[in-house]
Amino acid sequence: MIPLHYYLILAAMLFMIGMTGFLVRRNFLTVLMSIELMLNAVNINFVAFAHYMDSMTGRIYVFFIMTVAAAEAAIGLAILISAYRNTKTTFVDEMNSLKG
């Protein structure tokens, strides 16, 4: 039987990799992928707790998180396409036309 802590530490590592990638990368596509990594880390936490607490609620929550992740990816990529059409770049630090 694998202890619950192992799953939580794995999820924490995955979340921190995703967060660091979100903060440091310049490419908008890789930023979106980092968000998916963070959502996956949260999913691992939910399922691990649901398994060890004999509950179904955590698994249902993962189901809803996947829905939101799909919606977020679709909207994010649509925003990227419409921003690329205007600025001809995919780098987040070059999209600064709203800066005063």
Partner 1 sequence: MILNILFFYLAAVTIISALFVVIKRNAVHSAIALLVTFVHVAGIFLLLNSEFLAAVQILVYAGAILVLIIFVIMYLNVTQRYRMFNRLKLIAFFVGVVLFAEVLYIITRTALKGQKGEFPIAKVMEMGNTEAIGKVLFTDYLFPFEIASLILLVAMIGAIVLAKKEI
Write out the binding residues for partner 1, residues 53-82 only, by CB under 8 A: 53-57, 59-60, 62-64, 66-75, 77-82
Burial category of 43 from C-beta neighbours within 10 Å (exposed 0-12, middle 13-18, buried 19 and up): buried
Q: How far is CA 83 from CA 34, 89, 97, in A?
A: 19, 8, 11
Rounded Cα distance, 80 and 96, in Å: 14
- At its nearest, how many Å lie between partner 1 and the CB of residue 7? 7
CB of residue 10 to partner 1, shortest distance in Å: 5
- Region label for 67, one of left (φ > 0), alpha (ψ between -120 and 50) or beta (otherwise): alpha
Nearer CB in complex with partner 1: 65/100: 65
CB of 91 to partner 1, least distance (A): 7
Residue 27 CB neighbour total at 10 angstroms: 11
The residues that touch partner 1, with contacts defined as CB under 8 A, are 1-2, 4-10, 12-14, 16-21, 23-27, 29-30, 32-34, 36-37, 40, 43-44, 47-48, 50-57, 59-60, 62-64, 66-75, 77-82, 84-85, 90-93
